């Protein structure tokens, strides 16, 4: 544990990590339910607080920033009021937004959650899921390639929410670029491009995504999860498999052996954004030279911590260190 503590305290602050993928705005309408509407049998939520937070790949960047690392965020958003809000939030959090392209032909993805006493009542999504244009993809690649020519990066996180930023052709050229630079690449995949990330360092689906991708309702025994790793390996030729298992913890395979890391017993408030925290911590650990099992242990711990708070939140470095010492 002392070795992991040293990584967090001494090495994370020296890291530069690129984050590529779908960003979004998470909005919250918070209040309480005290009556049922006379118009229809639905609860009436009396709103007393409104809040906006960066989500998706932007939340991954925030988690890296909270850990002390320097995130460099690449994405495409709409040229709209939602996009302006998101850019302002990122700027105010100390994250550079100069590599985020604004598009006239798209809207910025937003998720609006209505909460009553920290319990989610309903969610409204506004988004375009079609792929960005070839011209926008070329521009985004040019932004990324330019940064990689002039700057040193310790790792790359590819955050795919299937909102259109990561096209199949863009993924292919990006993976080629990152391999040439010999940089660790951590992938959080979604359904559309699930098996497009050949040669990734860490492949991190959650349990539901892994089951859907393979078309199997497999269990969470070590034997079954090891078999899943080998099936993924045949398609992706990647190094490590990290599968988040919800309240059962995480599964990690370092290419030679697998292990299940149990979840800590916690008062779970909201699992939203936990995957963003897991991959951010995993990337920081791998970039710092940690082995796969230590990295997965710390990632699993961090993911559990953020579930104790409502909404999408980033991990607090001091809280993570405190929990680690326990």
Sign of CA dihedral 198, 242, 190, 228: positive
DSSP H or E run through 78: strand 70-78
To which H or E segment does residue 301 belong? helix 292-306
CB 29 within 8 A of CB 167: no
Spatial strand order in the sheet of 119-126: 43-56, 23-36, 110-116, 119-126
Range 208-232 burial, b when 16+ CB lie within 10 A, else e: ebbbebbeeeeeeeeeebbebbebb
- Of the residues 154, 270, 276, 294, which is catalytic? 276
Contact 144, 177 (CB under 8 A): yes
What is the DSSP code (8-state) at residue 133? P
Find residue 83's DSSP bridge partners.
none
Long-range contacts of residues 101-104, Cβ cutoff 8 Å, at least 24 apart: 101/75, 101/76, 101/77, 101/136, 101/139, 101/140, 101/143, 102/76, 102/77, 102/78, 103/76, 103/77, 103/78, 103/79, 103/132, 103/133, 103/136, 104/79
276 is catalytic: yes
What six digits make up the tokens of 204? 């991190």
What residues act catalytically?
276
């Amino acid at each position: 544990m002392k070795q992991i503590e040293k990584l967090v305290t001494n090495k994370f602050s020296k890291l530069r990590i690129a984050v590529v993928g779908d960003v979004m705005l998470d909005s919250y309408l918070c209040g309480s339910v005290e009556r049922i509407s006379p118009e229809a049998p639905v609860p009436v939520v009396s709103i007393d607080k409104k809040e906006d937070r960066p989500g998706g790949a932007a939340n991954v960047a925030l988690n890296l920033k909270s850990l002390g690392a320097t995130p460099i965020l690449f994405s495409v958003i709409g040229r709209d009021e939602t996009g302006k809000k998101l850019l302002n939030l990122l700027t105010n959090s100390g994250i550079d937004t100069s590599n985020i392209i604004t598009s006239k032909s798209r809207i910025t993805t937003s998720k609006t959650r209505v909460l009553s006493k920290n319990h989610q009542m309903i969610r409204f999504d506004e988004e375009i899921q079609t792929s960005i244009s070839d011209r926008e993809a070329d521009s985004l690649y040019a932004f990324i390639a330019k940064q990689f020519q002039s700057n040193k990066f310790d790792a790359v996180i590819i955050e795919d929410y299937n909102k259109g930023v990561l096209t199949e052709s863009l993924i292919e050229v990006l993976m080629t670029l990152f391999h040439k630079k010999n940089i660790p690449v951590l992938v959080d995949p979604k359904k559309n491009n699930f098996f497009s990330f050949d040669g990734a360092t860490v492949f991190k689906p959650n349990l539901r995504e892994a089951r859907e991708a393979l078309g199997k309702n497999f269990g969470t025994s070590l034997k079954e999860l090891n078999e899943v790793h080998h099936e993924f390996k045949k398609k992706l030729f990647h190094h490590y498999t990290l599968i988040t298992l919800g309240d059962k913890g995480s599964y990690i395979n370092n290419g030679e052996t697998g292990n299940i890391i149990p979840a800590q017993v916690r008062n779970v408030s909201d699992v939203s954004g936990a995957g963003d925290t897991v991959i951010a911590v995993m990337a920081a650990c791998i970039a710092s030279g940690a082995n796969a099992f230590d990295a997965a242990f710390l990632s699993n711990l961090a993911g559990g911590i953020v579930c104790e708070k409502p909404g999408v939140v980033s991990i607090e470095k001091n809280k993570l260190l405190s929990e680690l010492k326990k």
